[in-house]
Structure 1
């Protein structure tokens, strides 16, 4: 029996700006997105039973339509009139959950790719991205991967030059943060300091890691850091450990630090791991989608 194995890769935001709250309730954003080499594994296969079965290694995750993997598979199967088919999706989670790293969106993107292949639907990447935005604003980016500028609600994507080689320390504290809580409490019209997104794009074009790190910023920290001071403690620990800069990813609470020295990154990894501040911690690197960069 044919089994597809896929990697669903996490993202960080090198820069995250919110321009305004739209009339439809969504927020207009401008973000620099970067895929990192932290990933969940999906195994997808056809089964004789009708419908979609989801299994996961985390017992607190839903396995019905409340899971984005299920919704992604259901969307394609309904559209293709293949609801009588049976599919089993086994999801092995490693990306921190509810952590600002688009883990659920990455899983949904991998499910779209896998179901498309498994059922022979022959949808192009562009067609998958059009469907992905109906599941979540980050899904089109998670399909594309690499380094990108995201605008609109996050669905308008432009490929950027790759992030310069570096080491990225990713740490999630022992808390989870609701994205809805963060955006509901964000006072977009009162933000006085905005991250230098254009400066980051220029740094990427020049391959200048230090300038890229210097220009990092995330306006959502104005909500999340006061509510969860541990985020600021982790940031300070990374900066003291030699990070060029450290920042919260997405709506948090995950914090990442950019290191140009692997040894310093590794030493900071072990210090933070033993500090009691973090629940999950990884030392990783940026991932680039070479096909897009060459295209």
Structure 2
């Protein structure tokens, strides 16, 4: 069985508080894009087997896909095992929820095979044990995500908008970014209500001008090249640019495919991981 696991971008990311256990409280708008990993899934007699075309992907219990499969097998007392081959296209450690997307895809596949009566809500609650992005990845599309990521409210689909995505040649630790974030020093927060209105009306320019990610306060300060990438994308005619998640990936929306293609062609000469894609 082949299944696609789609990357996400943040149309906004706000940190509105912090729990006593150290987890940050978030308010963000998430969006799937047409960039995906392909997972080949087969039932086996016992155990969990994982392999990938990417040598940086662990094949043991460190892998979120392994954790998802193990969690599902234990939760629902599944007797059989599973073999998973991950054809990795989503950049790693990029702020695109690649690992969470793969984990959620496996949870949905195993649900469909073994326990079709399990709801998305129950599956999301299970997935939250793996990572905060997993509940969103199970629902997908365009959504408002709150809490630590577990409260997912679907929005009107913001589909078919062109974007360029650039992953610089380094990764970022999400835990380190949140650790370095001082909530009291955030001067400007996203106006989530305006962004939701822009999504509902499918107004690209309105959304692009109001996109905001408060984690840029940390990551862009540490990696100045990201500011240059954003500036270059705007100079190529993008209507707006933003960092996704904790970074380092930067994306920009375009209202014209010709401008987007020119930008892509230029950026591809500078960076290895450049994608021209759309929201879905």
Task: Give the TM-score normalised by the residue count of structure 1.
Answer: 0.92
Aligned-partner SS, 1:104: helix
2:15 aligned with 1:18: yes
Contact 2:167 2:249 in 1 (8 A): yes
Two-structure CA RMSD over aligned residues (Å) = 1.2
What residue in structure 2 maps to residue 180 of structure 1? 175
State the partner residue of 2:57.
Answer: 61
Aligned length: 280
Q: Which residue of 1 aligns with 2:150?
A: 155
Runs of 4+ in 1 over 4 A off after TM superposition: none
Query: How many angstroms does 1:197 deviate by?
Result: 1.3
Residue 73 (structure 1) shift? 0.6
Task: Provide the secondary structure at the position in 2 that maps to 1:123.
Answer: coil
Q: 2:202 & 2:82 partners in 1: Cα distance?
A: 44
Matching residue of 1:92: 87
Q: Is the 8 A contact 2:144 2:155 kept in 1?
A: yes
SS at match of 1:96: coil
1:80 Cα deviation from its structure 2 partner: 2.0
Question: 1: distance between equivalents of 2:233 and 2:145?
Answer: 27
Question: Which residue does the alignment assign to 2:42?
Answer: 45
* Corresponding residue to 1:196 among 191, 197, 217: 191
Shift of 1:214: 0.7
Give the SS at the match of 1:117: helix
Name stretches of at least 5 consecutive residues in structure 2 with no aligned partner.
none
TM-score, length-scaled by structure 2: 0.97
Give the equivalent residue in structure 1 for 2:3. Answer: 6
Q: Secondary structure at the match of 1:35?
A: strand
CA distance in 2, matches of 1:28, 1:222: 17
Aligned 8 A contact 1:99 1:253 in 2: yes
Residue by residue, what CA displacement relative to the aligned partner does 1:255-287 show, whole Å, maximum 9, x if unpaired?
Answer: 000111011011100111112xx2311111111
Contiguous gaps of at least 5 residues in structure 1: 288-295
